[in-house]
Amino acid sequence: MLVSGQTALVTGGGSGLGAATARHLAKQGANVVILDFDIERAENVALEFGGYAVKADVSDPAAVDAALDNATERLGGSPRIVVNCAGVGYAARIVGREGKLSFDVFEKTLRVNLFGTYNVMSHAAKRMMELEPLETGERGVIISTASVAWEDGQLGQAAYAASKGGIASMCLPAAREFARFGIRVMAIAPGLFKTPMMEGLPEEVAETITANIPFPPRLGEPEEYALLAEHIVTNSFLNGTIIRLDGAVRLPPR
């Protein structure tokens, strides 16, 4: 499926990987709508390329449904390209100091990362099913963001790893379910990227992290995530799998 001329929805597009993806898809000729809880940041990114931003909590089904209706009306059609980048990265031990438990962190992380991804996928796929198929037989493609932590989560990442593992695990069954409608489902598992969360780390910590990346020995650029997302859209035989984008890194225990 060609990117040019298609409507694309990017969640979490106000910053980081989502912002880079929104910019890149717009540069390739897509009509991009950004869905983000931080509407101010989302609008600032959308203004760069004449896109559209809409506010929604991805974990709220009614809010996502309304946001997609809003975007569809504004852009004259449902998105054929959906990239789920919205997420949080809270860290907490399962049992912390003085026996403090962290179920609240676990619940909030899964609600945003896993439930939010499932929620957007559900509402987007429902609308894609109603679209006319393209010449390739495709109606759309949904790309979700897992993480290398789903396979090698570090100490304190139980909640985050579980949420990203859920995203990875539902990729294949979702692809199988939507196959008869010509809708592909893929996931990208990024490694260590130059995002606001990483840029906020002390320099010595960032250097230690970078030293563990075999090649290239640096943090990933958000634009590299965007390039892979574009390739997934254009390569119709990519379906039902997770692609690690990580410079061959494997995260140590801590």
Sheet holding 183-190, edge to edge: 52-55, 31-36, 7-11, 81-84, 140-145, 183-190, 242-245
Q: What is the mean pLDDT of residues 92-115?
A: 96
70 band by pLDDT with thresholds 50, 70 and 90: very high
Positions annotated as catalytic residues are 160
**pLDDT cut 90: percent of the chain above it:** 89
> Which region among 65-74, 173-182, 195-204, 241-250 has the lowest average model confidence (pLDDT)?
195-204
Closest CA to 38 of 18, 65, 23, 24: 18
Q: Which pLDDT does position 202 carry in this prediction?
A: 62
- pLDDT reading at 228 higher than 90: yes
Q: Which pLDDT does position 210 carry in this prediction?
A: 81
195 band by pLDDT with thresholds 50, 70 and 90: confident
Burial (0-12, 13-18, 19+ Cβ within 10 Å), 198: middle
CB atoms within 10 A of CB 215: 8
Residues 139-181: pLDDT tens digits? Answer: 999 999 999 999 999 899 999 999 999 999 999 999 999 999 9
Q: Which pLDDT does position 205 carry in this prediction?
A: 65
Query: Coil, strand, or helix at residue 33?
Result: strand
Fold of 7-191+222-244: Rossmann fold (3.40.50)
Residue recorded with tokens 């979490």? 12
CB atoms within 10 A of CB 96: 12
Average pLDDT across the chain, whole number: 95
- pLDDT reading at 201 higher than 70: no
For 238, list phi and psi in degrees, rounded to 5: -85, 115
What is the C-alpha separation between 45 and 227, in angstroms, rounded?
18
State the sign of the Cα–Cα–Cα–Cα dihedral 231, 235, 240, 243: negative
Q: What is the mean pLDDT of residues 187-204?
A: 82
Give residue limits of the domains in the chain: 7-191+222-244
